[in-house]
Structure 1
Amino acid sequence: MRLGHYLGICMVAALACTTVQAETTAPATPAVDGLQGPLINGVCLLSRQAVFANAKVGKAATARLQQLANGAQSRFDSERGKLADDVRAFQQQAKSLPDATRRTQEAALDQRAHALEAERQRDIRQLELTRVQAMNQIGSETQPILASVYRTRGCGLLLDRNAVLGGNFGNDLTAAVVQGLDAKVTTISFNLAPLPATGGSQGAN
């Protein structure tokens, strides 16, 4: 039996995936000095991560996701604490128990530990699905704003700012998109998304 292992299980850092990584809206500094160059008309840049991280609605989503993650962590810690207490009590009296009783109690504790681990995995999948759906909702709000800024700036090609190694970042649309998104929406409300009937988060697209 692996009861000692289950005393140490936790929600792990996977719950951190519910938060949006902070990134500045300012143009990134080229990775190599001397790669500024002339502004290329029609070529524009955008960092979706920076939009989500800096827009008010993105910050609201991150705060809500963290709240949901903290709730899941609290529930898990409570159940883990109860299991740990029962495991310690069992270990203290195991030698004095009849073999059949010891095996029965051991199997019951092991079953609880497996169930707790399964619950932890469900929480992680559910939080990730919730994060994806929230980001998709914000993305839907962002798209028309991005399209408007794109046309206004005379863009003919849009590149991911985070994939650009260097160059002139004068046509970075990120800050303008954040400004437009803030003017349109500042908050978002959601609860934990239910997992698909088959389990997992395959339906999160």
Structure 2
Amino acid sequence: MKLIAIGAFALATLAAGAASAQAQQQVTHGAPIPGLCTYSLQRALGQSTAGQSLRSGLQRLAQEVQGELQPYATSLESEAQQLQSAGPIDPNNQAYQAWQGRLQQFQQLQQTREAELRYTDAMQTQAIGAAAGPIITALYQERGCSILLNESVVLLGNPAMDLTDTVVQRLNQALPTLPAFNRMQVPPQQQQ
């Protein structure tokens, strides 16, 4: 299912971020560049307790969706086998057309649930970002940054210029976990 692929991609992205952090620890860096700072949203989401609660909440929701969709998928597969066992399928057969209609409804429901999961992820990530924003701004000023780069565009950098670990520490204090959340419906204007 696409839901499993989405979850696997998210976990792979987090694992790649952790591997990247380990690779940086083995490199000898030059002196930090005054006023240049970096920040990694991916690492902050992966390492913060709020990000971890987001991940576990999304896994819970994905399991709920899978539990909702699985009976439909099983029923459709069973009906398809029955139709095939009756001989060559006639596209004009009413039973086949009814099955086609249920298949389309299932696919639409699956797409709707996937969109809801993506939207829920985006809204909860936005909530974490809203909590992290003032922390990042304060650190930017505390460290005397003149420019803040997204760490995803920096191949290697001196860790002394990275704000991420401090952001995670302060974010864990400000937002130790996300409030319980459910799957959110995508607003009609965003469905298009």
- The verdict on a shared fold, with TM-score over 0.5 as the criterion, is yes
Matches of 1:48 and 1:89 in 2, distance apart? 50
Pairing 1:86-97 to 2, within 5 Å after superposition: 86-94=79-87
**How many percent identity over aligned positions?**
25
Matches of 2:4 and 2:19 in 1, distance apart? 26
Higher helix share: 2
1:151 matches 2:141: yes
* TM-score, normalised relative to structure 2: 0.84
Matches of 2:107 and 2:131 in 1, distance apart? 37
Matches of 1:25 and 1:155 in 2, distance apart? 26
Matches of 1:177 and 1:123 in 2, distance apart? 33
Deviations 1:137-191 (A, max 9, x none): 0000001111111211121111111211234331111100000001111111211
Matches of 1:198 and 1:70 in 2, distance apart? 27
- For the aligned residue pairs, the C-alpha RMSD in angstroms reads 2.8
| CA pair 27-92 structure 1, distance change in 2 beyond 3 A | closer
2:187 to 170, 173, 196: 196
Residue in structure 2 matched with residue 78 of structure 1 by the alignment: 71
In the alignment, residue 181 of structure 2 is paired with which amino acid?
A: F
| CA pair 25-174 structure 1, distance change in 2 beyond 3 A | farther
1:179 to 158, 169, 172: 169
Pairing 1:27-42 to 2, within 5 Å after superposition: 29=23, 36-42=29-35
Greater Cα radius of gyration, structure 1 or 2: 1
Deviations 1:77-126 (A, max 9, x none): 2110011112222333357xxx89x7010100111111111111111111
Residue in structure 2 matched with residue 103 of structure 1 by the alignment: 93
Q: Give the Å deviation of 1:59.
A: 0.2
1:142 matches 2:136: no
Q: Conserved in 2, the CA contact under 8 Å of 1:145 and 1:181?
A: yes
Q: Conserved in 1, the CA contact under 8 Å of 2:35 and 2:145?
A: yes
Matches of 1:196 and 1:175 in 2, distance apart? 35
Secondary structure of the residue that 2:160 maps to in structure 1?
Answer: coil
1:118 matches 2:100: no
Aligned residues, how many? 187
Secondary structure of the residue that 1:195 maps to in structure 2?
Answer: coil
In the alignment, residue 66 of structure 1 is paired with which amino acid?
A: Q
Gaps of 5+ in 2: none
| CA pair 72-45 structure 1, distance change in 2 beyond 3 A | same
In the alignment, residue 47 of structure 1 is paired with which amino acid?
A: S
Matches of 2:93 and 2:74 in 1, distance apart? 22
